Amino acid sequence: MIVVLDLGISNVVSVQRMIKKVGYLNVKISNSKHDLNNCEKIILPGVGHYDAGVKSLLNLDLIDFLPRAIKEKNIPTLGICLGAQLLLSRSEEGKRPGLGLINGYCKKFNKKLINKNKIPNMGWLETRFSKKSNLSKNFEGEPRFYFVHSYHFCLENESDILCYSNHGYDFPAGFQNKNIFGLQFHPEKSHSYGKQIIENFLNI
């Protein structure tokens, strides 16, 4: 079973729909500890403010449970947008600590360096993979994905960076450390490219 973790802060149905489009029908929208402890994979979507996401995790009593379950059971986990940011240690957007599964934090785009680009970054960007990964399979050239964000990843270990995009300057658009993956863009809104990266994750 694939669990799309429902924190009440994202359109989980669109993620579920993309998973079914790929051909995986055994997918459940849930925030149950039982489901999370017994699933094959977890997808953590999210939009909005960082502290609101952390608050949802706290209210569901998942802030300690989730990282422990992911680590102990080695569950492949994919964070999307805010969901990916929550996998990090913290964010400049908020005051609460994140899940701490990846060493790093989220930083707001530097207005002085983005030239005439706007904040938030909204739209399609070419994305280049910087290392071989299960997620990077079956892409030719540089795929394009849909972004909506004002903050980007700053990772302590460069080896965790999966891919880059450019919004005035290069920024990490995805990360991977073992079974933990994060994407700043929205694969569920990225048509055929998004479908491919979701399929790659589900095939791990």
pLDDT band at 125 (very low <50, low <70, confident <90, very high): very high
pLDDT value of residue 11: 85
C-alpha span between 76 and 70 (Å, rounded) = 7
pLDDT of residue 141: 82
The secondary structure element, H or E, covering residue 48 is: none
pLDDT at 127: 97
The number of CA neighbours under 13 Å toward the Cβ of 94 is: 19
In this predicted structure, what is the pLDDT of residue 9? 85
Spatial separation of the C-alpha atoms in residues 140 and 152, rounded to whole Å = 25
What is the rounded average pLDDT of the residues 83-110? 97
* Helix, strand or coil, per DSSP, at residue 17: helix
pLDDT recorded at residue 116? 85
User: To which CATH superfamily is domain 2-202 assigned?
Assistant: Class I glutamine amidotransferase (GATase) domain (3.40.50.880)
- Cα(158)–Cα(154) distance, rounded to whole angstroms? 9
Burial of 136 (0-12, 13-18, 19+ CB in 10 A): buried
State the average pLDDT over residues 98-119: 94
What's the predicted TM-score (pTM) here? 0.97
Strands 161-166 and 170-177: antiparallel
On the 0-12 / 13-18 / 19+ scale of CB atoms within 10 A, 30 is middle
Q: Which residues are catalytic?
A: 81, 186, 188
179-189 residue pLDDT tens: 999 999 999 99
Span 34-54, average pLDDT? 95
Asked if residue 23 has pLDDT above 90, the reply is yes
Q: Is 28 helix (H, G, I), strand (E, B) or coil?
A: strand
Tell me what percent of the residues of the chain surpass a pLDDT of 90: 92
Summarised one tens digit per residue, pLDDT across range 13-22 is: 999 999 999 9
Q: How many residues does the chain have?
A: 204
